[in-house]
Structure 1
Amino acid sequence: MSILKRWVVPGVVAVCAVTAITLFSETDKIEADLTKRAQAVLQDKGMDWANISFSGRDGTLTGIEPEKNEASWAIELLDAEWGVRTVSNETEELKTQSPYSWGLVRDDDQVSIIGYLPYRLTRTLPSEMEEKMPGVLVQTQVEAARGAPANIENVVQFTTDLLSSLDNAKAFLLDNTLTITGQLEDGNPADIAKFKAAQEKIAAADLEGISFDFQIPEPKAPEDMVKPVATTVNGLEITRSADGVRIMGLMPSQEIKDTVIDLANRKFGTSVVTEGLDVREGEKIANLGYDDYRRSSVAILQAVSRLEEGSASLTENGLDLTGGAFYGGALEDVMRGLQDALPASVALNTDLRVAAPGETVDAEQCQRLLRSSLETNTILFESGMAAISPDSFGLLDTLIYTARRCTDNRIQIEGHTDSDGDDAANQALSERRAGAVADYLVSAGITADRLEAKGFGEDQPVASNDTPEGKAKNRRIEFVILTQ
């Protein structure tokens, strides 16, 4: 018995240990071989979203499934691979985005891809665009999501081709509406040709189910260019109409003239502003001294910016103001602002009204109107803060007027920042700014349950953050109609 214990039992234990080690070693080899071959099958079919692991001959498929039935197809391929016994599905579905939005933003020698696309397009589009637009820097902030229109690949191909010939343009797809915006130079033969070519491409496009909203203004022919305007106004006259803003009159200094023009650009954005201001250095104009005339000019410009259409005329006889405010609260603000700013010597004569409500529009048209307003102007804030600049009150009044034309729809107010500063701080700032805009709309009578404020920080730029101009474009507020 002692010999058995001393020699036989240890021998059996040793044999068992060697056998176990061999089995474990063989299992590792089997798992490694199956994993390698299975991963090669997935890669060969372009399924780089999928991962496969094995426990013995049993596989587990993981990853984010980009489209319906992709995981089932992957498992079918793997089941056919020699040595595989079973494959279990532990994948997750890619999120579905609604409303579905995607866009291209072309800014000279760079283009940004924004919004959402099917997974495969997020992988292939950047390189395809680099081939289509040689020398143009392609930046992508696009995310993969389900829910795209059925012919999204044709839409993307058409849009890429269109923007390859437009140096400064933006194409934005919202569900089934493709909006094209941008600027072309008046009097420039090349830009006139680009405009005609773009219209021809759109007319020839075969994108079933997609509607176009082409908002690029036709550039004027050289012979139609507006000539400088000479003033005959002995004071200040500001007129706002569907054709733009006209500022005429006299200024007691170049400094005040520059201030008025700068403020006009901030308040009216890229609207057509025609200026015919003559400087009469040191002169008293409309019986007002330097400081009073400056303060009055700024207040009058602010008042007109908050009118749908209107005119203001400041002379030695006082201020005549006519027009329609977008809502009752705006009219009260206009009157209060003028009364606070104008000297007591200036007689205030007003013929103001609240503009008649616009016709009710559907969600698609409402989105186009909101986006059109924000394409030509930007909601401004005090630097680094969520306080809305008074220069943007007129723009917000316009957005409120539009929001009242689609009362059945909810609106998401999106805040965005540039990349300066800390990520977390930018996220918080974007949320506060979106909230401030929502509060402004609520104060004007838009019900709070129609609004959803959301901040995106610096995560969704529409231009490069490498230039001041690009950063300015990225600091923005967007309005998005939410589907019911």
Structure 2
Amino acid sequence: MPLALLAVAAVVFARAPLEAELSSRADDLLIEIGESWARASFDGRDALLEGEALSEEARIKVRAELARLSGVRIVADATTLLPERRPFTFSVIRDGNNLRLEGYVPSRFARARIVESARKMAPDIKVSGEENLVRARGVPAGDFAGVVAFGMEQLARMPAGRVTISDDAFSIEGRAPDFSTYDALEVTVRTDLPGDFKLARFAVLPPTVSPFIWSAQREDDGVLLAGYIPLGEARRALLDAVRGAVPGAAISDQLRLADGAPNSEGWLKAAAFALQQLGRLPGGKVTLVDTTISIEGAAPDFASYDALAAARRAVPEGYTLIRFGVEPPNVSPFTFGVLRSANRIRLVGYAPSEDAKRLLQDAVRAGFPGTAVSDEMRIASGGPTAESFVAAVSFGVGQLAKLRTGELRGNGYTLSVAGEAQDAAAFAAVNAALAAPLPGGFTLAKADVRPPLVSPYVFGLRKDGQGLTVSGFYPDRAAHEALLAQAKRELLGIPVNDVSSVALGAPEGFVAAAQAALRELARLDSGEVRFDDHKLHISGAALFPSAIDAIREALRTELPPGFTAEVTLEVAPPPPPMDRTGCQKALADILDRSGILFQPGTATLDPSSRGVLDHLAAVVSGCPEATIEIVARAPEANPPVAEAGQEAAPAAGLAAARAQAVADYFAALGIASQRLIAFAGTPPVADGGRPIEFSVR
């Protein structure tokens, strides 16, 4: 018995090392031949082969190789075939630091390699699903674990994504964090994918951009497209739109796919709309920023500009045209006008911009409410700035509103205003405004503003204790100033209240008639002159009875042809008596305010002196007991030459004759001639001195 036990023990202890050696050599062999799925166990030198094979060929291969292993006597095959999966799928899903593995693997070795690659994909990565990976037959040819590892390398570039392998088809999806990553992913996946596999789907989304900007710009040889383009088929549709808008143009496509675009269909409509406008703008540019559109460029002609301006009202729904920077055609000269007739306003010529034209229209509507406006104005460049244009035309329309009819015209930076003023106040206001610097840097080229036309043409002069009141109308400034100067001289400097105004419509000879009437008004103590076209009426109180007929006769002979005079005069009450001192002072006071004038070089009294002579005579009549010496002095220089048809007199004789002419004038008014002593005085009168003086005795 002891011997038997020793024999058994010897056999047992001798087999164990043999079995261990054969098992180790078998494991090395299976790895060497690439069939690590199989496992071999030994009972002595007899092998038991177990495992799930990927194919019958693999089982046969393993049995044959194991049977040839030195020391192996018998191989018992207990292997089975793995289930076959069609399609053979595998997925890697990343969501931040979480990575999930799903699908089939061909072997434990492949699974271990995949899991190891997953754990090395990114720091702090958490891998799940490895325990649920199922071994199966049907794996595609090639390095399956290697292509899975390649996919995980691409997922490492994105914060989230998915790689799917279905048989030999490789798909990747996700969102790139930036454009450089997106570009690198696309290049890598399309060029470096392991050769036994094909790219079925590249669904990596580009970055989301905001704002979403796209532009198209005309260049000499084509159209440059830049910015972003939505996903999908937008690029093809956009290129077709470019070819339709700019036929034959070379297209430089610098567009990038990006996410963040508005609704794709609406975006394409807006881009097509913008490209239609670009087709009308050589050198132009159109831009979309989210849901806004900008159009810039220079219109080559008015037809193109009008079409572009009309397109502003046809922007696709959901989009807004925020900039219309289209320069209109250039014109020279740049002219414009606002023409006013009795019941209509016409806008003609050019305006520098749509906004400037609109502001002009607003000014016209405000200045001429209810008046029909005919807009014939076009938009053009080459003229003043919009700001200067608006300032100038607004000013001009303000002046035009004061005219009954008229025109405001401009050429570059010059303005012209012409027309008939509504009334005298408007005439004065317009002329004052045009005399000041014009707004907007403009200068006045021409001003032809006419006074209002009135009918009947009335004019009045009223002389009373308060002074002279001038009313009605005068034809021009020169006539007005001449009448006022005459009134100041002949009416002894009395205060003048001037309420007259300028107007057209004066009858021919009006100024001469008004001057003649003013001369006779100067002879009255008080009175009024009134013109109604050609009819003159003079009324008031004459200083002497004989003056009434003299005034009537003077008007008859001195009024221009066509004028008639109606004279209604009475005699003023005689002045209160004065003593000699009062009489002397009163005469000196009159001569201080106005002197006695003669025709040049003669002793003939000038008609303009009749007023002062009548008032001097009235003073003389107020001191009936006094003798009046009338002294005339010759001027220091040679006397003026007499007018044609008159004979010049020697200086001393001329002085005596002039003194006598004054005495004769007084006598004709009823002053007793014996009270009047006329003679020439010495020395000669100096410049500024009185040629006639009176001395009361």
Richer in strand (by share) = 2
Richer in helix (by share) = 1
Using the size of structure 1 for normalisation, the TM-score is 0.45
Radius of gyration: which is bigger?
Answer: 2
Structure number with greater CO (CA < 8 Å, separation at least 6) is 1
